[in-house]
Amino acid sequence: MKRAIFLLRRRAISAIPVLLIVVIFTFFLLESASGDAVDAYLGSIGGGDAALRQSLRESYGLDQSMLARLWLYLSSLARFDLGWSVAFNRPVGELIAERLPNTLLLMGSATALSFGLGSALGILAGARPGSARDRLLSIGSLVVYAIPSFWLGLVLSIAFSVRLRWFPIAGIETIASGRTGLARALDISAHLVLPVGALALIYLALFLRVMRTGMVEAWKLDFVLFARAKGLSRSRIVLRHVARNALLPLVTMLGLQSAAMLGGSVVIESVFAIPGFGRLAQEAVNGRDAPLLMGIIVTSAVLVISVNFLVDLVYASLDPRIGASEGGA
């Protein structure tokens, strides 16, 4: 417990400069792109005149200097105010709060599924390296990994929604159904099956391969040889000695993958029309909505930092050597 608090404090302090760098870097990146929110908006409504353009630019504060806008943004951010979305004409915080839960649900389920299934299959493959089962799983995972996620999403929806009609084709729940409680939870689950499946399948392959490689390595370690010499049963060696050791890199990867999966969910949210965080980011880019995009990036950064913190905790509990010296302080 003491160790957890220590880690949390250290993480929180280091997070502030990280966030600041992310914000400033993003701001200048957006500035350097040609065109702004007014250009994007006028294009989307099919035109207007010069006076309209000028008044829009003033109302969005785009007539102010670049540094003035950066300062304005940073000072409102310091007050935990994420600003006003130009493309949606609503507070950024509100938009994010509305969309984030859907993405967390999608990503959380997909991560749990790909991690759980991926490590289980990895154990199966790594239990007897070089066996026919191992080769089948390795090649299968490589094939799945090579499939683009949007294509997999489309194939799944054509097979299971259009042809078989087992699952709804799109959305997070049945529109305007008025369902509540358990009925609503079941409805949402049914809608999540295909997108979670598509997203998890891609990442499953990664976890499988890392687990398998870790297992292959672990077989060569001395204590495994010792365990075998002791005459322990094979299944006990596989689970208690080999797999547990091979799990460590997998946990590290879990932290890294959380960021990658956020990116992957953009595509899946688009294909399955899920009103999530990734799609919001896409809309922010299309509308050149700088405050919204910054809000999304800041939130994602906080999210990734938090996931990595949790991963550290899990790691520390799996491997007592980690953080031991600091924990004693």
Partner 1 sequence: MTVPSISRRTLMKGTALLLASTALARQALAQDVPKGGRLVVAADSEPKNLNPAIVASNGVFFIASKVIEPLAEASFDGKDGLAPRLATSWEGAPDGLSVTFKLRDGVTWHDGKPFTSVDVAFSALNIWKPLQNLGRLVFANLEAVDTPDDYTAIFRFSKPTPFQLIRNALPVVTSVVAKHVFDGSDIATNPGNNKLVGTGPFTFAEYKPGEYYRLARNENYWDKDQPKLDEIVFRVLPDRASAGAALEADEIQLAAFSAVPLADLDRISKVEGIKVISKGYEALTYQLVVEINHRRKELADLRVRQAIAQAIDKKFVVDTIFLGYAAAATGPVPKNAPEFYTSDVATYDFDPAAANDILDKAGYKQGADGNRFKLKLRPAPYFNETRQFGDYLRQALAVIGIDAEIVNADAAAHQKAVYTDHDFDLAVGPPVFRGDPAISTTILVQSGTPAGVPFSNQGGYVNPELDKIIKQASETVDTAARTDLYRKFQQLVVADLPLINVAEWGFITVARDTVLNVSNNPRWAVSNWGDTALQS
Q: CA–CA separation, 133 vs 128, rounded Å?
A: 8
Q: Is 26 in the site for partner 1 (CB under 8 A)?
A: no
With CB under 8 A as the contact rule, the residue among 17, 46, 320, 328 that binds partner 1 is 46
Nearer to partner 1, 3 or 279 (CB): 279
Tokens, residue 148: 């683009």
Check residue 33 for interaction with partner 1 (CB under 8 A): yes
* DSSP states along 19-88: HHHHHHHHHHHHHHSS--HHHHHHHHTT---HHHHHHHHHHTTTTS-HHHHHHHHHHHHHTT---EETTT
CB of 77 to partner 1, least distance (A): 23
The b-or-e profile of 101-130 (16+ CB within 10 A means b, else e) is ebbebbbebbbebbbebbbebbbbbbbeee
> Between residues 106 and 172, which has the closer beta carbon with respect to partner 1?
172
> Taking CB under 8 A as the rule, does residue 45 contact partner 1?
yes
Local structure of residue 319 (DSSP, 8 states):
-
Total Cβ atoms within 10 A of residue 221: 13
Q: Which stretch binds partner 1 (CB under 8 A): 36-44, 63-71, 188-196, 210-218?
A: 36-44
Q: Does 42 bind partner 1 (CB under 8 A)?
A: yes
Q: Of 15, 40, 100, 120, which one interacts with partner 1 (CB under 8 A)?
A: 40
What element of type H or E holds 124? Answer: helix 92-127
Nearer to partner 1, 122 or 197 (CB): 197
Residue 66 as a binder of partner 1 (CB under 8 A): the answer is no
Distance of CA 87 to the CA centre of its chain: 24
Q: Smallest distance, Å, CB 19 to partner 1?
A: 26
- Considering only 67, 146, 176, 329, the residue that binds partner 1 (CB under 8 A) is 176
Rounded to whole angstroms, the Cα distance separating 169 from 150 reads 14
Q: Which of residues 260-289 bind partner 1 (CB under 8 A)?
A: 270-273, 275-276, 279-280, 282, 285-288
Are 223 and 170 spatial neighbours (Cβ–Cβ below 8 Å)? no
Please give the residue ranges that form the binding site for partner 1 (CB under 8 A). 33-37, 39-53, 59, 86-89, 95, 98-99, 154, 157-158, 161-162, 165, 168-172, 175-176, 270-273, 275-276, 279-280, 282, 285-288
